[in-house]
Amino acid sequence: MHPDFESMMISKEEIAARVGEIAREIDRQYAGKNPLMVCVLKGSLFFFSDLLHAMEIPAEIDFISVSSYGAGDKSTGKITMKKDLSEPIEGRHVIIVEDIVDSGNTLSHLRDLFAERQPASFAICTLLDKPSRRVSDVKVDYCGFRIPDEFIVGYGLDYAERYRLENDIYVLKRSVYEK
């Protein structure tokens, strides 16, 4: 284990098992609907890819990139769009796929933005949820794991662009970000 890590929180085996369960739920609920799956870059890249592989129904994909200002461990509440969707979503069944819901600012902003574009339906799928940190209210439709208030990295999640490529999810030592 990397010396910057406190402990492993979720192993790659546990992630794979849970991703399979979510894929089967989406398969059931979106049968015949050809949903548009939206990957929120960059953190949800591996989750998105594994989820899409595990799903069996037809689906289309698109990508969006937003930033919540700053490279630290806290969201500032200000969201800017770095890369928008490549196609309109009017009339589509949209499922937005995030790595983690923390304050909820990012997803409440995206939900409001997408609502203006009149999709047929809108759902939120997140690998991780830290409900104790919520500032903006968001309804999460699919959640991999509810986790306590720790800063975590790996499986796509980073701290200042580091540790994304770890296969498991780890708790980052406080000393790494409280400097």
**Residue ranges in contact with ligand IMP by CB under 6 A:** 43, 68, 75, 98-106, 151-153, 157
The nearest distance, CB 152 to ligand IMP, in angstroms, is 4
* Partner that binds at residue 68, options ligand IMP, Mg ion, none, CB closer than 5 to 8 Å by kind: ligand IMP
Residue pair 52/30 in contact (Cβ under 8 Å)? The answer is no
Residue at shortest CB range from Mg ion: 43
Query: Which of 70, 91 has the CB closer to ligand IMP?
Result: 70
Catalytic residue status for 102: yes
- Phi, psi for 75 (deg, rounded to 5): -75, 145
Query: Which of 56, 150 has the CB closer to ligand IMP?
Result: 150
Give the DSSP per-residue string, 42-75.
TTTHHHHHHHHHH--S--EEEEEEEE-SSSSSS-
* Partner that binds at residue 102, options ligand IMP, Mg ion, none, CB closer than 5 to 8 Å by kind: ligand IMP
Q: Is 84 exposed, middle or buried (0-12, 13-18, 19+ CB in 10 A)?
A: exposed
Positions marked catalytic:
102
